Amino acid sequence: MQPFDYIAPQDHAEASALLADGDAAARAFMGGTDLLIRLRSGLIQPRRVVDLKALPGLREIRLSDSSPPAAPVAWLVIGAACTMNQVAAHPLVRRDYSLLVQACNAVASYQLRNRATIGGNCCNASPAADTAPALYCLDAMAEVYGPGGRRRIPIADFFVGPGQTALRKGEFLTAIHLPPPPAGAIGVFNKLGRTKVGDIALVSVAVYCWMERPDRSSETCQVCWRIALGAVGPTPLRAREAEDALAADSSTAGTKRAAELAAAAARPIDDHRASAAYRRDMVRVLTRRGIETVLMLRAGSDARSPAGDQPSLPGGPA
Ligand SMILES: Cc1cc2nc3c(=O)[nH]c(=O)nc-3n(C[C@H](O)[C@H](O)[C@H](O)COP(=O)(O)OP(=O)(O)OC[C@H]3O[C@@H](n4cnc5c(N)ncnc54)[C@H](O)[C@@H]3O)c2cc1C
């Protein structure tokens, strides 16, 4: 491994200045589970590695005190240096964002999840990043800091291409912001790897569903769906046509149709790990399974809640 300077700055401005210095070809460092492998193999040769973990707030999970003024409930702010295990174990994440818990727990092994951070997972910008489909479904915002101060980027705009993010020179990811979840939202994350644990996804699918009443007096509900796919395109992606089809029909036939539309939305490639055709087929299978599981969980929660409290999905469980 080529030698490099290791620096742990004490504040955001110092970190940004260290990263902006082009002569050093500086790289941000979090858990190092991606970075060290690329350093060791010589794929990247920075002369400076900037450890961001000790910066104020980067390891915290807290409710936001700067949510949009009209927001009735606070957003959740997850510091970029929080590890997968820290995120998955946090009581607020467990209560409100079970989809993200499932995604964090799908990353590699328990030991690796003690090092791997949510920020590193996003900034590495692998299309197969396990947290990405969940963050797409949850409408997450990436908070970044740089020479121009702080700004927020919708997560789908943060991922630009394989290994590429929307970060500008001298910018780094400070946190992930999650809006309050809609009441009764249910999410399911399914991942297929070559092995049951410890492998990068060949395909991953997050399915997220909730119901909205157009107004308080309304008897009927609008069913909203989000479906996000991982490892089948240059970035993670939403399967919007599948979402719309499901909103109109979540019967068995509608579920099948949505799964086919999700497979059609995928843009997989052939590589040494799987063929494009296999990946596309697995998008169909994992999407269908995800929808069916959500519908089953929904039916269970309807049965537990008092009559009229939670209207059922039209079409019922598939
Ligand atoms: C054996 C093994 C198995 C794995 N399995 C999985 C898996 O199942 N699922 C999965 O999704 N991933 C997997 N990974 C990949 C990796 O563990 C994750 O992507 C992890 O979340 C990266 O986080 P990190 O903190 O280690 O990032 P680092 O390695 O420290 O950084 C990753 C990249 O992001 C940049 N970066 C980090 N933080 C910031 C920041 N705040 N601002 C700007 N740039 C930043 C770094 O410069 C680097 O380029 C695996 C890796 C290994 C080695």
Q: Is ligand 1 within 6 A of the CB of residue 317?
A: no
61-178 carries CATH number 3.30.465.10: yes
Torsion of CA 206, 197, 115, 156, to 10 degrees: -20
Q: How far is the CA of 94 from the centre of ligand 1 (A)?
A: 22
Residue 174, token pair as written in the block: 């400070």
> 191-195, 303-307, 308-312: which has the minimum mean pLDDT?
308-312
Distance of CA 92 to the CA centre of its chain: 17
State which of 107, 118, 167, 194 you would mutate to test the pocket of ligand 1, scoring each by most atoms of that ligand within 8 A of its C-beta. 107
The answer to whether 45 and 89 are in contact (CB under 8 A) is no
Residue with tokens 């299309």: 127
Task: Name the residue ranges covered by the structural domains of the chain.
Answer: 5-50, 61-178, 186-304
State how beta strands 48-51 and 61-63 pair.
unpaired
Q: Give yes or no for residue 307 having a pLDDT over 80.
A: no
The tens digit of pLDDT for each residue in 181-236 reads: 998 899 999 999 998 777 899 999 999 999 887 677 777 788 999 999 999 999 99
Q: Give yes or no for residue 264 having a pLDDT over 50.
A: yes
- CA 11/CA 30 separation, integer angstroms: 15
- CA 95/CA 235 separation, integer angstroms: 28
Q: Model pTM? A: 0.93
Q: Which residues of 244-256 are buried (b: 16+ CB within 10 A; e: fewer)?
A: ebbbeebbeebbe
DSSP H helices, the chain, are 12-20, 35-40, 84-89, 91-96, 98-105, 110-113, 118-124, 131-137, 155-158, 240-248, 252-265, 276-304
> 4-18, 170-184, 202-216, 293-307: which has the minimum mean pLDDT?
293-307
Q: Give yes or no for residue 108 having a pLDDT over 80.
A: yes
Q: How far is the CA of 112 from the centre of ligand 1 (A)?
A: 10
State which of 87, 117, 124 you would mutate to test the pocket of ligand 1, scoring each by most atoms of that ligand within 8 A of its C-beta. 124
Residue nearest to atom 2 of ligand 1 (CA): 108
- CA 208/CA 30 separation, integer angstroms: 29
Q: Is ligand 1 within 6 A of the CB of residue 29?
A: yes
Long-range contact set of residues 219-224: C-beta below 8 Å, sequence gap at least 24? 219/311, 220/311, 221/311, 222/247, 223/247, 223/250, 223/313, 223/314, 224/182
The answer to whether 186 and 298 are in contact (CB under 8 A) is yes
Residue 156: which pLDDT band, with cuts at 50, 70 and 90?
very high
Residues in the chain: 318
Q: How far is the CA of 35 from the centre of ligand 1 (A)?
A: 7
Q: How far is the CA of 124 from the centre of ligand 1 (A)?
A: 6
Q: How far is the CA of 38 from the centre of ligand 1 (A)?
A: 11
Please give the biggest Cα pair distance in the chain. 67
Q: Is ligand 1 within 6 A of the CB of residue 99?
A: no
Provide the pLDDT for residue 313.
41
Provide the pLDDT for residue 1.
84
Residue nearest to atom 41 of ligand 1 (CA): 173
Q: Give yes or no for residue 100 having a pLDDT over 70.
A: yes
- How open is the CA angle 118-119-122, to the nearest 5 degrees? 90
Give CATH for domain 186-304: 3.30.390.50
To the nearest whole number, what is the mean pLDDT of the chain?
92
Q: How far is the CA of 197 from the centre of ligand 1 (A)?
A: 17
Provide the pLDDT for residue 197.
75
Q: Is ligand 1 within 6 A of the CB of residue 112?
A: yes
Provide the pLDDT for residue 199.
85
- The secondary structure of residue 10, as a DSSP letter, is S
Closest ligand 1 atom to residue 33 Cα is 26
Q: How far is the CA of 151 from the centre of ligand 1 (A)?
A: 22
